[in-house]
Chains A and B, each alone.
Chain A
Amino acid sequence: MTATCDLAIIGAGPAGMAAATTAAYLGLSTVVLDEQPEPGGQIYRGIERLAATRSQHLKILGPDYATGLELVRAFRKANIDYLDSTQVWQVEPDGRVFYRRNGAAGILTAKKILIAPGAMERPFAVPGWTLPGVLTCGAGQTMLKANGLAPKGRFVLAGCGPLLLLFAAQLVRAGVKPAAILETTFNRWAALPHLPGFLAASGYFGKGLALLRELKAAGIPIHKGVTRVAITGDTQVREIEFVFGGETRREPVDTVFLHQGVVPNGNLAWSLNLAHEWDEAQRCFRPKLDAWGRSSVPMILVAGDAGGIVGAAGAEAMGRVAAFAIATDLGKISTEECSERASAARASLAKQRAARPFLDALYRPHQRWLAPPDSDTVVCRCEEVRTGEIRRLVTEQNCPGPNQMKSFVRCGMGPCQGRLCGLTVVELIAECRGLPISEVGYYRIRPPVKPVTVGDLATLDVATRHDAVGL
């Protein structure tokens, strides 16, 4: 494969695949680097293998998952250098991409770089969320998609969001019923003004209602307005305590699936120092982008959920839009051609975006999940820093922000590099200081954003190696 290319794309989910397919069609030499062994991202995880070896499961996962197959096939057919099982640990604003594949480090140089690492589930810190047997709904769904694995024994789903309901329905179809759904949605009326945009986005409303009907027909108890979730256990989960309607209940469980919506998977964008803004409706930071996905760094574009949550169809459209912009910037097509050829993708993106405010308002996480009240709830899972300590450091030691929190207690400095605590930490600091989150800011994320060993680095030539570690 070539060490230089027109376009390097990081991520092979809907945004990355659509962008790559479009870019290749427009004549750009395109390289796609993705962490997984198969294309699809998390939303279409394992779809090729599933279709080939256990297509019966397509019925369980539903038609939206199956649509990914078409995208994957087009991606496979296009003239793209696709590096699977590849971890990108550093991107430089001069176009260099450092990666690790098959136990060796590699480097390529691109004229444009499209970042499309997708979304991750919002950190949902509740007492006991570190116990073995507590996973995210996304993790559970991944195992259903990629492995045909379903939870054994008694389990519940807790939180809110479309993914939670979809996962519950998929499990029911697989013949594995949740003991209960603990719903944390708290202000349905706030979503009402945004209903027209949601209704205009083809089919979402009907799909949502159908999921709820499916769960009801299966007799799954859905406890609405849950205000407290606490998980207890020893070597693994044993019990979940929850409060709804003023009543406290305990259920014995073997597994718990948590979900509180999704947020941009942002470490790569942050590591590049892209300008970011706080999105109040989605309650997360996202990179500042123009209508085509161009970031504050000229060479870098962002597409898909990493640029703000747009969903799979929106991500796909955004990938295509970005590919047209890149082809224009590289002189492959004229500006006029670009606006003409990108118009369908832009219209589709606009429609998908118009559907978001309803979902954002309906499934907005309550403050009690964003800034957990119990003082012994673990926030930084890696370094085991708890809510009480973070609050104390802000109020008593005047720790002003997330980066100072690192210096105080190593919060956010473990292997996950703040991915699982960053938003909770800034919510807690903002709450204690009475500041808007935009003023609190976020962790300063530095490369490597994925683990790389000294041995890996030694496989690079000396000049590159010094560059990579900033010497």
Chain B
Amino acid sequence: MFALLPDIPQTQVTVIINGGAVSVPSGFTAAAAMLMHNNGATRTTGISGEGRAPYCMMGVCFECLMEINGEPNQQGCLVTVNEGMRINRQLGKREVLG
């Protein structure tokens, strides 16, 4: 849904989004990386299963809950990416002791 403004070389980090390796500038949050490389929903709700994606990008809406390095329910907009980080969509509620 989002693209980088052109012509600014920045240090890149490789992250694995939904199983695929992509590059994002260092300093990105997991939610920003998702909005750059994932179209549509980044999670489905635990109530009706409808799709959602980051909404506020500042830590208040909790729509960007995602699975980061195997850990579910992470607020993607508050997690800074690092090399090799695995970021996955979160489908429904987290599993207890998953």
Measured CB to CB, the residues of A under 8 A from B are: 35-37, 42, 46, 49, 53-54, 56-57, 60, 85, 87, 120-121, 130-136, 138-139, 142-143, 146-153, 174-176, 235-236, 254-255, 265, 381-384, 414-416, 419-420, 451
Q: In the complex, A131 Cα to B50 Cα: how many Å? A: 9
Contact indicator A152/B3 (Cβ below 8 Å): yes
Contact indicator A148/B8 (Cβ below 8 Å): yes
Chain B binding surface, main DSSP class? loop
Q: In the complex, A85 Cα to B27 Cα: how many Å? A: 13
Contact indicator A149/B32 (Cβ below 8 Å): yes
Residue of A nearest to B43 (CB): A132
Contact indicator A384/B39 (Cβ below 8 Å): no
A306 to chain B, nearest CB (A): 12
Contact among A54, A134, A136 with B8 in the assembled complex (CB-CB below 8 Å): A54
Contact indicator A135/B45 (Cβ below 8 Å): no
Contact indicator B32/A147 (Cβ below 8 Å): yes
Contact indicator A132/B75 (Cβ below 8 Å): no
Q: B84: CB under 8 A from chain A?
A: no
Residues of chain B within 8 A (CB-CB) of A383 are: 47
Q: In the complex, A236 Cα to B65 Cα: how many Å? A: 17
Q: List residues of B (46-75) whose CB comes within 8 Å of A's CBs.
A: 47-48, 50-63, 65, 73, 75
Residues of chain A within 8 A (CB-CB) of B32 are: 143, 146-147, 149
Q: In the complex, A202 Cα to B23 Cα: how many Å? A: 44
Q: How many residues of B contact A (CB 8 A)?
A: 42
Q: List residues of B (1-37) whose CB comes within 8 Å of A's CBs.
A: 1-5, 7-8, 10-11, 25, 27-29, 32, 35-36
Contact indicator A149/B41 (Cβ below 8 Å): no
Contact indicator B47/A136 (Cβ below 8 Å): no
Q: In the complex, A216 Cα to B60 Cα: how many Å? A: 33
Q: In the complex, A131 Cα to B54 Cα: how many Å? A: 10
Q: In the complex, A423 Cα to B42 Cα: how many Å? A: 26
Q: In the complex, A235 Cα to B50 Cα: how many Å? A: 9
Q: Which of A35, A85, A139 has the most CB of B within 10 A?
A: A139
Q: Which of A46, A135, A176, A416 has the most CB of B within 10 A?
A: A135
B87 to chain A, nearest CB (A): 15
